[in-house]
Amino acid sequence: MDNAAFRLIKNNTPGNYTFILKATKEVPRRLMNDKRKTIGLRVPSNPIALALLEVLNEPMMSTTLMLPGNDFAESEPEEISEHLGKQVDLVIHGGFLGQQPTTVIDLTESAPEVVREGAGDPTPFR
């Protein structure tokens, strides 16, 4: 990533943003968008996620949990445990985070592009 993209990410993380970056050859194929050769980067402000990242001392892959037939992401820990309890090893109850998605910023071109407005303020990227 170039210096301008690095500064934008550094000045706005941790936060409610997902940044789309060009994937390098070091990124495993299964983690990148096949057609666009991109990867999403998120540095959350959630204290549990930050603590896990600190302990792991390496990136962590995650995804939004949307069960088949649902229009919204799952956010209720008890419901997640009820639906998936036998299929996952652990569900961490970190409180209720709500349904508002992150603001998605595409940094693959020379100028940032706000792809989706969400919980993060898009002003710094316009």
CATH number at residue 61: 3.90.870.10
Q: Greater confidence, 56 or 70?
A: 56
d(CA 124, CA 120): 10
Q: What is the pLDDT of residue 109?
A: 92
| Token duo for residue 42 | 């998120």
**pLDDT tens digits, 7-62:** 999 999 999 999 999 998 888 888 888 788 999 998 888 888 889 989 999 888 88
- C-alpha 122/C-alpha 40 separation (Å) is 17
Domain span including residue 57: 3-119
Q: Containing H/E element for 47? A: helix 47-56
- Residue 125 counted as domain residue: no
Q: Is the pTM of this model over 0.85?
A: no
In this prediction, residue 98 carries a pLDDT of 67
pLDDT at residue number 10: 95
Number of domains into which the chain is organized: 1
Helix (H, G, I), strand (E, B) or coil at 68: coil
Three-state SS for 3?
A: helix
**Rounded Cα–Cα distance for residues 107 and 97 (Å):** 26
